């Protein structure tokens, strides 16, 4: 058996930052996110070497987060969190950002790699909360790009961006983070690009209007205010950023910002999924400004090479919600429809190429915080939760095969996964 324990001290150097707690921020002078503290000696005191990177899945439920082994869906840890928790990968392949009361909490999903010459060794340990918290009044979007993790506090407009690999030893406290505060607080998002420029939304609590591009010194170098209800970002090939508006998108290349208009006067794209390999971005699409629940049956494809946008009608009039989309390894788009099928979209051709039944039909809820089926795509797999049955499934995107399923003892809500290795 090749299962050798390592000392925590050498295996988990990033988890040992135990600094004094600070208070939260205020709206006037947003406090730098700071870690809370404890005398935690880490329940993950033993690291085990394993033969390959271990993907870890995290799901929220009412009361906390469960971390699962992605191959078996065995529950590896159950960590309580206060408030409605949202999940995002932290960007280092190992940690998960839990947006909950107090800010962005760094959860160690307990699987990582360490380089060993021209290959890596892989380790696992018990998942646990690291006690590092990036304080935020309303922790919002978490963006991972080009080795940076960028956090946006909707309550203050405070942006924090740092090397993703430093997430667990509190980049702010270590003075390794870039910070910026938008002129007014709003539900926003920011992405730091590889040249140090920051694309950040502009707006107030009442109206979001567009974006600004800041250079590495936070000086504005470009802007666009033609993006009503600005929401969501993604990065496509050649570091092209796509930002959603209620009448189209903004495509950002360098300092060039191009508006692409939706075919409908109100044609809202609020969430986008891009990959660094594909110039085409998948977006949601809503065209009924008056609906409580817009049971949209179309998704959008934005081609960043020629700044065009087209819509794809899902088969059988099926609808979806913004948490049921994703991308495959080969650039495919995936949409889990309310018909319970995973629809595969050829993003270049703009067609649905296959529909595979995965879960029972379901309905989009008015309350976005209510548990609904979610999709998270990673390395060619679509993880899919089914709150009605407390099930979770792994679907091979290329073939549509449901190759693993598990039943939880909690009702899953938010969903994410990390690969257990550095992938950028």
Partner 1 sequence: MRSAPLAGGVLALALLAACGSTDPPAGGEDGTTVVTTSHPLQYTAEAVAGDRASVSSVLAAGDDSHNTEISTRQVAEMVDADVVVHLSGLQPAIDTALSARPPQHLVDAVQYADDENDPHFWLDPVRMASLGQDVAAALSEVDPEGAADYEAGAAAFATEMDQLDADYATALAGCRDAALVTSHEAFGYLAQRYGLRQIGIAGVDPEVEPSPARVRDVLEVARENDVTTIFFEETANPAVAEKLAGDLGVQTAVLHPVERVEEGQDYLSLMQENLQALRTGLNC
If one asks whether residue 39 binds partner 1 (CB under 8 A), the answer comes out as no
Closest CA to 348 of 305, 401, 314, 285: 305
Q: What is the DSSP string of 166-223?
A: GGGG-TTTTT--EEEE-SS--S--EEE-TTS-EEEEEE-SS-EEEEEEE-TTS-EEEE
If one asks whether residue 369 binds partner 1 (CB under 8 A), the answer comes out as no
Closest CA to 24 of 155, 120, 144: 155
Terminal Cα-to-Cα distance of the chain (whole angstroms) = 31
Residues 260-299 that bind partner 1 (CB under 8 A): none
Closest CA to 24 of 76, 88, 84, 100: 100
Cβ 241 vs Cβ 258: under 8 Å: no
Closest approach of Cβ 118 to partner 1, in Å?
Answer: 4
Closest approach of Cβ 181 to partner 1, in Å?
Answer: 41
Q: Write out the two tokens for 334.
A: 């995936």
Residue nearer to partner 1 on the CB measure, 120 or 405: 120
For partner 1, the binding residue among 370, 379, 407, 424 (CB under 8 A) is: 379
Beta bridge partners of 286: 268
Q: Write out the two tokens for 307.
A: 């700044």
Query: Dihedral of CA 330/372/355/281: which sign?
Result: negative
Residue nearer to partner 1 on the CB measure, 228 or 380: 380
Number of neighbours of residue 317 by Cβ within 10 angstroms? 11
If one asks whether residue 14 binds partner 1 (CB under 8 A), the answer comes out as no
Residue nearer to partner 1 on the CB measure, 125 or 245: 125
Residue nearer to partner 1 on the CB measure, 72 or 288: 72
For partner 1, the binding residue among 234, 381, 385, 416 (CB under 8 A) is: 381
Cβ 406 vs Cβ 386: under 8 Å: no
- Piece in contact with partner 1 (CB under 8 A), picked from 118-126, 286-294, 361-369, 410-418: 118-126
Closest approach of Cβ 229 to partner 1, in Å?
Answer: 36
Closest approach of Cβ 50 to partner 1, in Å?
Answer: 6
Residue nearer to partner 1 on the CB measure, 7 or 370: 7
Residue nearer to partner 1 on the CB measure, 203 or 419: 419
Residue nearer to partner 1 on the CB measure, 13 or 317: 13
If one asks whether residue 329 binds partner 1 (CB under 8 A), the answer comes out as yes
Residues 44-83 that bind partner 1 (CB under 8 A): 49-55, 71
> Which H helix or E strand runs over 10?
helix 8-11
If one asks whether residue 394 binds partner 1 (CB under 8 A), the answer comes out as yes
Closest approach of Cβ 94 to partner 1, in Å?
Answer: 16
Q: Which long-range contacts (CB under 8 A, 24 or more apart) does 206-212 make?
A: 210/250, 211/243, 211/250, 211/252, 211/257
If one asks whether residue 119 binds partner 1 (CB under 8 A), the answer comes out as yes
If one asks whether residue 6 binds partner 1 (CB under 8 A), the answer comes out as yes
- Piece in contact with partner 1 (CB under 8 A), picked from 111-119, 238-246, 270-278, 331-339: 111-119
Residue nearer to partner 1 on the CB measure, 387 or 400: 400
Q: What is the DSSP string of 341-374?
A: EEEEEETTTTEEEEEEE-S------SSTTS----
For partner 1, the binding residue among 78, 163, 264, 396 (CB under 8 A) is: 396
If one asks whether residue 401 binds partner 1 (CB under 8 A), the answer comes out as yes
> Which H helix or E strand runs over 8?
helix 8-11
Closest approach of Cβ 359 to partner 1, in Å?
Answer: 19
List, edge to edge, every strand of the sheet that includes 119-124: 5-6, 47-50, 119-124, 111-116
If one asks whether residue 120 binds partner 1 (CB under 8 A), the answer comes out as yes
If one asks whether residue 403 binds partner 1 (CB under 8 A), the answer comes out as yes
Rule CB under 8 A: which residues touch partner 1?
1-2, 4-7, 10, 49-55, 71, 117-122, 329, 379-381, 394, 396-399, 401, 403
């Amino acid at each position: 058996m090749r299962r050798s324990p390592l000392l925590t001290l050498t295996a988990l150097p990033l988890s040992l930052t135990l600094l004094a707690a600070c208070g939260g921020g205020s709206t006037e002078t947003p406090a730098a996110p700071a870690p809370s503290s404890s005398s935690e000696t880490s329940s993950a005191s033993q690291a085990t070497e394993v033969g390959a990177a271990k993907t870890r899945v995290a799901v929220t439920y009412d009361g906390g987060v469960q971390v699962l082994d992605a191959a078996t869906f065995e529950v590896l840890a159950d960590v309580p969190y206060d408030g409605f928790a949202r999940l995002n990968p932290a960007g280092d392949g190992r940690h998960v950002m839990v947006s909950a009361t107090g800010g962005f909490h760094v959860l160690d999903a307990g699987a990582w790699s360490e380089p060993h010459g021209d290959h890596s060794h892989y380790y696992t340990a018990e998942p646990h909360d690291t006690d590092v918290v990036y304080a935020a009044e309303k922790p919002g979007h978490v963006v991972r790009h080009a080795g940076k993790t960028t956090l946006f506090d909707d309550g203050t407009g405070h942006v924090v961006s740092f090397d993703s690999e430093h997430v667990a030893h509190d980049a702010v406290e270590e003075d390794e983070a870039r910070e910026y505060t938008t002129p007014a607080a709003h539900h926003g998002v920011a992405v730091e690009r590889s040249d140090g420029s920051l694309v950040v939304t502009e707006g107030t609590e009442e109206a979001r209007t567009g974006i600004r591009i800041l250079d590495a010194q936070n000086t504005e170098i470009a802007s666009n205010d033609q993006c009503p209800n600005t929401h969501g970002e993604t990065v496509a090939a050649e570091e092209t950023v796509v930002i959603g508006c209620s009448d189209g998108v903004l495509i950002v290349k360098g300092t060039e910002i191009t508006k692409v208009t939706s075919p409908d006067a109100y044609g809202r794209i609020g969430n986008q999924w891009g990959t660094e390999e594909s110039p085409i971005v998948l977006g949601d699409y809503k065209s009924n400004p008056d609906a409580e629940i817009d049971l949209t049956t179309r998704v959008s494809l934005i081609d960043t090479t020629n700044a065009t946008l087209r819509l794809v009608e899902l088969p059988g009039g099926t609808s979806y919600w913004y948490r049921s989309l994703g991308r495959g390894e080969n650039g495919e788009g995936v949409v889990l429809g309310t018909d319970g099928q995973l629809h595969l979209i050829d993003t270049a051709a703009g067609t649905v190429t296959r529909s595979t039944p995965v879960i029972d039909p379901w309905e989009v809820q008015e309350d976005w915080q209510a548990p609904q089926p979610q999709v998270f795509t990673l390395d060619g797999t679509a993880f899919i939760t089914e709150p009605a049955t407390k099930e979770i499934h792994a679907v091979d995107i290329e073939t549509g095969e449901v190759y693993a399923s598990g039943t939880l003892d909690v009702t899953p809500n938010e969903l994410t996964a990390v690969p257990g290795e550095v992938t950028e």
